Amino acid sequence: MKIETIICDCCGEEIPKVKKKDIFGIEREYYRLGKLNYGYPFNDINCRTLGLHLCDRCAGNISLEMYKTRVELCGGLTE
Ligand SMILES: [Zn+2]
C-alpha cells in the first residue's frame, strides 16, 4: 500500500502521522490533522469534513483568529 502524504493547505508542511491502536488493538496510522475550534457550538470541527487539510499549528492559528473576530463582533454589538 502506498503511503500517502498530506500537505497542510495553509503552510504547505507535511501533516505528521501518528501510530495509534484502535479499539481492536490493531496499530493504525493516523494523520495528525488540526481541528478548528470557533467556540460553542462550533468547537471541535474536523477540517476534513470541510475538505481542508490543516496541521495542528495552522488550525490553532485559524481558530484563534476566528475567536478574535467573534469577540470583536460581539463587543461591537453590545456597545
Ligand atoms: Zn500548516
pTM above 0.75, yes or no: no
Chain position carrying cell 463582533: 73
Q: Give the pLDDT confidence score for residue 9 in this predicted structure.
A: 92
Instruction: Give alpha helix (H) positions in the chain.
Output: 56-78
Q: Which residues make up the environment of ion ligand 1, defined by Cβ < 5 Å?
A: 8, 10-11, 55, 58
Those residues of the chain that have pLDDT short of 50 are none
- Could you read off the pLDDT of 48-63 as tens digits, one per residue? 677 889 999 999 998 8
Report the separation in Å between the CA atom of 24 and the middle of ligand 1, taken as the mean of its atom positions.
31
| Distances in whole angstroms, Cα of residue 63 to Cα of each of 18, 47, 68, 69 | 22, 11, 9, 10
Report the separation in Å between the CA atom of 51 and the middle of ligand 1, taken as the mean of its atom positions.
14
